[in-house]
A = this chain, B = another copy of it.
C-alpha cells in the first residue's frame, strides 16, 4: 500500500493460523507466565458435534483443515502518524486472505476469525554487514502509543461487525516490548507483507 519510492510508515506481516498461543507476561518469581490463545473453536464445535467435550480432540488431525485465525505482526517506522491507523486497520481486516472451508478466500471479518496482534520491531531491521540495524524504527514511546491505538481500533472494528460479534471472535495481542514467545499451528501460513 505504501507508494513506491517513499519510505513506509508501518510494516505488517500476516499469517493464517488454526491455533496460536502467545506469552503476554513471562513467569516471574512464583507467578506463572500468562498466555493468550486464538483458535478455531466455534467452527470446530460445529464441525465435530455440538458437545463441547469433543473440542480438545478436534484440535488435532480429526478436523477439517480450515484457516480460522489471522496473526498480524506489526512494526512502526519513524514518522508514522496515528492518522495512518484507520486506513491500516481497514486494509488488514478487509483484505481477502482467510480461507473458508470451501477453499474460498474472504476477509478475516467475513470468515469470521480470531485475530492475534504481535508487536514485532525486528520487522523494521535492515542488514548492515552481518548485523541488523533498526535505525528506521519508531521510538519506544511513540511505537507503544501507535501499537496500543492499533489494537484498540482492531477491537472496535470487530465489535462493530455483527458477524464477528455473533460468532464471538476476539482480538488478542502481545505485550509491547516483551519477548513474543509464540506457538503457531497452521494449515499453510500463507504469509503476506503489507506496507503502509
Contact = CB atoms under 8 A, between A and B. Distances in A.
A186 B182 contact: yes
Interface in A62-113: 65, 73, 91, 94-97, 107
A97 B132 contact: yes
Interface residues of A, number: 37
A29 interface: no
A34 interface: no
Contacts of A130: 94-96, 107
A183 B182 contact: no
A183 B97 CA distance: 19
The residue among A95, A107, A122 with the most chain B CB atoms within 10 A of its own CB is: A122
Interface stretch (A150-158, A159-167, A187-195): A187-195
Contacts of A1: 127
A184 interface: yes
A181 B67 CA distance: 11
Interface of A: 1, 5, 11, 13, 65, 73, 91, 94-97, 107, 118, 120, 122-123, 125, 127, 130-132, 179-194
